[in-house]
């Protein structure tokens, strides 16, 4: 048993950020399933981690805006979201960094939860449902990643079963339209949260594409600060006065190699936009994957 736990821990630490998020979601879901075995009332634990539509209740449990995006109703709900997170997480990393994915997952979930809360307290249609409505699931976070991927690589072609090749921008459009169509369905809260996630995904990707802003910058700074607190507070080091012969030459060689590698990745990304991912050679796919893991 100890070896299994150690192996899972190593896989978690070595995995990509999307794989780490999947591990967390699966782990949280397993814990909630285990707690149900004790016949605990759902309100005894689960509702304290979900986002309530009631504003007063949310003020009493503000942490639920973060915890709800790691909870799932059942195995199929979890499976669907995690498959999307895995597939589109890989596409996302072609254009953005691991920190971007981490930050956008959280930001998409937060904005999705706020959209849900706002809609249920503003529109008369939901007036009678506020007192007993709760939101859970990673869908808003995942759809933020889907839409950001579509903005970054709109012409990328996906091979869909029974459909064939479909450009990524059309997949994102279909997802958004379906959420709009089902905004008054039995899962209205989920579809509203999806719209919040898609909006923040679009806003993030536009800012990065235009070079104007990074919507995830603040949340990543908060996360880095929190993870750096336990025993990792850096102390300023005294400057060293030693002179190393050949240092500038080494720096020049390093910068030249880095620029050449960056230019090569840019060229591969341009090729994807022109002819899709399937148009890449095996060597180009390998280089792109290696770059996404840095």
pLDDT digits (tens, 9 = 90+) for 179-232: 999 988 888 999 999 999 999 999 999 999 888 999 999 999 999 888 875 434
The DSSP symbol for 238 reads P
Closest CA to 71 of 40, 49, 38, 45: 49
Calculate mean pLDDT across residues 270-294: 69
- The larger pLDDT score, comparing residue 276 to residue 99, is at 99
Which pLDDT score is estimated for 238? 40
Helix pair angle (17-36, 98-122), 10° resolution:
50
- pLDDT category at 38 given cuts 50, 70, 90 is confident
Sketch the domain layout of the chain as residue ranges: 2-227, 247-292
Assess whether pLDDT exceeds 70 at residue 292: no
What H or E segment, with its residue span, contains residue 151? helix 139-152
Element (H, E) at 107: helix 98-122
The domain defined by 2-227 folds into Rhomboid-like fold (1.20.1540)
Quote the mean pLDDT of the chain.
83
Overall pTM surpassing 0.85 (yes/no): no
- Looking at per-residue pLDDT, the higher value among 89 and 261 belongs to 89
Contact of 111 with 140, CB cutoff 8 Å: yes
pLDDT at 53 over 80: yes
CB of 67 within 8 A of CB of 46? no
What are the two backbone dihedrals, phi and then psi, of residue 158, each rounded to the nearest 5 degrees? -105, 140
Q: How far apart are CA 49 and CA 237, in angstroms?
A: 42
């Amino acid at each position: 048993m100890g070896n299994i736990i150690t192996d899972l821990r190593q896989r978690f630490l070595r995995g990509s950020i999307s794989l780490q998020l999947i591990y967390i979601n699966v782990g949280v879901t397993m814990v909630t399933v285990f707690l149900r075995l004790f016949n605990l009332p759902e309100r005894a634990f689960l509702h304290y981690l979900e986002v309530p539509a009631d504003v007063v209740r949310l003020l009493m449990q503000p942490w639920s805006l973060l915890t709800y995006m790691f909870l799932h109703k059942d195995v199929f709900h979890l499976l669907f979201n995690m498959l999307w997170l895995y597939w589109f997480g890989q596409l996302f990393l072609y254009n953005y960094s691991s920190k971007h994915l981490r930050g956008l997952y959280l930001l998409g979930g937060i904005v999705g939860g706020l959209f849900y809360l706002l809609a249920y307290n503003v529109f008369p249609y939901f007036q009678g449902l506020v007192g007993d409505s709760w939101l859970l699931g990673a869908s808003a976070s995942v759809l933020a990643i889907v839409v950001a991927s579509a903005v970054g690589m709109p012409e990328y072609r996906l091979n869909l079963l029974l459909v064939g090749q479909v450009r990524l921008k059309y997949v994102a459009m279909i997802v958004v339209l379906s959420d709009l169509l089902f905004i008054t369905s039995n899962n209205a809260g989920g579809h509203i949260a999806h719209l919040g996630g898609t909006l923040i995904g679009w806003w993030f990707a536009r800012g990065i594409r235009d070079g104007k802003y990074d919507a995830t910058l603040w949340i990543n700074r908060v996360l880095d600060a929190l993870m750096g607190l336990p025993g990792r507070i850096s102390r300023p080091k005294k400057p060293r006065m030693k002179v190393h012969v050949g240092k500038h030459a080494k720096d020049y060689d390093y910068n030249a190699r880095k620029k050449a590698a960056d230019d090569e990745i840019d060229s591969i990304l341009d090729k994807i936009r022109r002819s899709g991912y399937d148009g890449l050679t095996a060597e180009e796919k390998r280089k792109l994957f290696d770059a996404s893991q840095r």
